[in-house]
Amino acid sequence: MLLAADVGNTNVKLGIFDGDNLKFKLRFSTDENKTSDELAVELYTFLQIYNIDAKNIDGAIISSVVPKFTYNLRSAIMTVTDRKSLLIGPGLKTGLDIKIEHPETLGADIVAGCVGACEKYGGPLIMIFMGTATAIVYVDASNAYHGGAIAPGMGISLDALTNHGALLSSVDMKAPKKVISSNTSDCIRSGIMFGTACMLDGMVDMFTEECKTECKVIATGGLAPLAIKNCRHDIIFDENIILDGLKIIYERNKK
């Protein structure tokens, strides 16, 4: 069994692979104040709930954009499973040819997601990561990563709008019935939901024009299903593509 963890700014997504099958998943908040002992208790409880013997965990791998939390999580995994975690970063074999100015600055989650998508769908492809930020990136047919664009995530955009607009209250993340809305709450929903969809469609068009090829478009992240259903492009939602990529990278680096 393999334990794979994707540590984002807001949430941690943890998965247990049994062979090639993703058997169990857990999502919990990225709380930098939690000690390694607290995380060990949470991890041990998770394994107990699903009747997984920690001794059956053969390895672990982490992608993370939160260094402080990563240290405590690696320590917790070692405590519970007695396994040292691989950490996505320079020195690991990924199979992704990173052609940007400073490859070491590329987010580990983006590396893992692109590796998973290349293996599953093949390039050229446009990957959309929708979490705290919305990242849109391009990988060519030879698995070469060329970069992309980063925009505020839907949650951040909504928070900024309602925090700085004295008369604007926060709303739930759902699309209104009409783009031209007749009350303030639905106007905000229209701007956030349809505005994000238009941004994604426009960026896919611009990426396609710039790279001069048609691409498969893959989206992942907790907010992705809400946005892409309002898009005009055919966008595939793949919830587990980062965890899948972590497993592939782990296999490529097993000794």
Enumerate the active-site residues. 109
Side-chain-facing half-sphere of 249: CA atoms under 13 Å: 36
6 within 8 A of 243, measured Cβ to Cβ:
yes
CB-based burial of residue 125 (10 Å sphere; 0-12 exposed, 13-18 middle, 19+ buried)? Answer: buried
Strand partners, 236: 218
Residue 226 neighbours by CB under 8 Å, 6+ apart: 154, 173, 174, 175, 193
Other CB atoms within 10 Å distance of the CB of residue 14 = 23
